[in-house]
Amino acid sequence: MLFSHRNVAVFALLLIFLIVWFKPIPLHTKSALHYLRASGPASPDILNATLGFQQVFVINIPERTDRRDAMTLAAALSRIDVQWIDGVDGHSVSDKVVPGDSWDKSISKGNKGSWRAHMNVLQRVVQDNITSALILEDDADWDVRIKPQLQVFAQAARAFTQSVPQHHPEHGVSYADHTSQSEISLAQLPPKLRLSVTPYGDAWDVLWLGHCGTELPKESDMVSDHGYDVKSSKPPVLKITIPNDATVPSPKHLKAHPFALQDEIAKQYPPHTRIVHSSSKTTCTQAYAVSQQGARKLLWQFGLQTLTTGWDLMLRDWCDGLYKSSSRDGRTANHPVCVTVQPPIFSHHYGKGAASDITAPGGGFVNKEKEMTPYIRLSVRLNMERLVNGASFEDLVDQWEDGT
């Protein structure tokens, strides 16, 4: 009999499977999915409400209700669950609590407040034993295709804590230590890198996803002038290229703010290439993820030992290996694993005539005429009115159209 109970049950299961399978993929990600498919499988967890991290935190001073409103909407429209961490007014940070090595330095109140807020997030990550957390500043913006973008990024990021294939003319493909490779395309990575701790790989410390500038790592700048053992602890020079990424603006739009110079990668790579590499001289902390081990190391270094300048500059130096301490036998500790991406996946949103913010990148540049977000094409912030009113993907505005 065609409609036996068994057939009906199988059909129902199939239907449930299909519904569950297709549900997490946001509707407005069609074109991003197109390039995602071409680049192989990724963890479906990244499509979840915390982007494949255990938690997403946003730092916001409660008085800035305007920013909290905007971030709440932006996150809701992208189906992201965020937890708030209260920003800190530098005037409330007592001299007693700052690490000893900052006593003789004049740290601005702004830097003290920002330092404390970031320490408070790290403290929370350690206290709650959170495996991985994404930390956003409250003016961060992103593309509506953020989830598929992060799926692709994750595939690349995993290569930084695992072996990647090496193509040898005689021996074919062998799997080598990633530090010995300099550049590889995403398509050359093995389709399934082993997964364990997080969808972004294991043993990373920081994934620096939103910044206002970074450099491609070079063999030559491996901290030798700071006296560290270069051989045992250099960061990988590996660069993973993601070609034909439709979410990357054309080369002339690759700048951190309207008066900035064009990014180096605009000339070095074909248009619409995104590059995942070790952090090198990265600045601004619009968005970065920490693993549990990364949070512990950072809380030790900057909660207890060091406060000398702005948080992003200290994180830059930490990722560049400048804070590594030597162990007793003279060998240096492992270089921190900080992976970044160019152009960044999160970026600073310049609101219309927004009040100048001392921590804003580009020397406090404020755009009085026009809102904008560098690097982000289908910006959630700039499409907010359309998204709130249920616009379809085709109706969204591309800020950095190729022809413009």
Ligand X SMILES: *[C@@H]1O[C@H](CO)[C@@H](O)[C@H](O)[C@H]1NC(C)=O
Binding site for ligand X (CB under 6 A): 45, 48-50, 52, 54, 81, 129, 131, 199
Q: Which is nearer to ligand X, 106 or 129 (CB)?
A: 129
**Amino acid type, 9:** A
Q: How far is the CB of 130 from ligand X (least distance, A)?
A: 9
> Residue 149 CB, nearest distance to ligand X (Å)?
16
Which tokens is 326 given?
A: 């030597």
- Shortest distance (Å) from residue 196 CB to ligand X: 11
For ligand X, the closer of residues 80 and 315 by Cβ is 80
CA 172 to chain centre: 34
Q: Which is nearer to ligand X, 26 or 243 (CB)?
A: 26
Smallest separation (angstroms) from ligand X to the CB of 200: 9
Q: Which is nearer to ligand X, 53 or 269 (CB)?
A: 53
Using alpha carbons, list the distances in angstroms from residue 315 to 40, 279, 312, 324.
32, 10, 5, 12
How many Cα atoms within 13 Å fall on the side-chain side of residue 52?
25
Nearest approach in angstroms of CB 159 to ligand X is 19
Q: CB atoms < 10 A from the CB of 365, how many?
A: 15
Residue 45, token pair as written in the block: 């967890």
Q: Among candidates 341, 299, 343, 331, which has minimal Cα distance to 318?
A: 299
Q: Which is nearer to ligand X, 251 or 294 (CB)?
A: 294
Nearer to ligand X, 50 or 163 (CB): 50
312/322 Cα distance (integer angstroms): 14
* Of 79 and 281, CB closest to ligand X: 79
Report the nearest approach of ligand X to the CB of residue 49 (Å): 4
What number of other Cβ atoms are within 10 A of residue 223's Cβ?
A: 18
* CA atoms within a 13 Å half-sphere pointing along the CA-CB vector of 21: 6
DSSP 131: S
**Are 57 and 119 in contact, with CB atoms under 8 Å apart?**
no
Of residues 132 and 241, the one with the C-beta less far from ligand X = 132
The answer to whether 301 touches 118, Cβ cutoff 8 Å, is no
Nearer to ligand X, 24 or 90 (CB): 24
- Least CB distance to ligand X at residue 201 (A): 12
Give least dist CB 53 to ligand X, A: 6
Distance separating alpha carbons of residues 201 and 180, to the nearest angstrom: 19
Do 3 and 368 meet the contact criterion of CB atoms below 8 Å apart? no
Long-range contact pairs involving 191-196 (C-beta distance under 8 Å, separation at least 24): 191/40, 191/41, 192/41, 193/155, 193/158, 193/159, 193/162, 194/162, 195/43, 195/158
To ligand X, the closest distance from the beta carbon of 390 in angstroms equals: 24
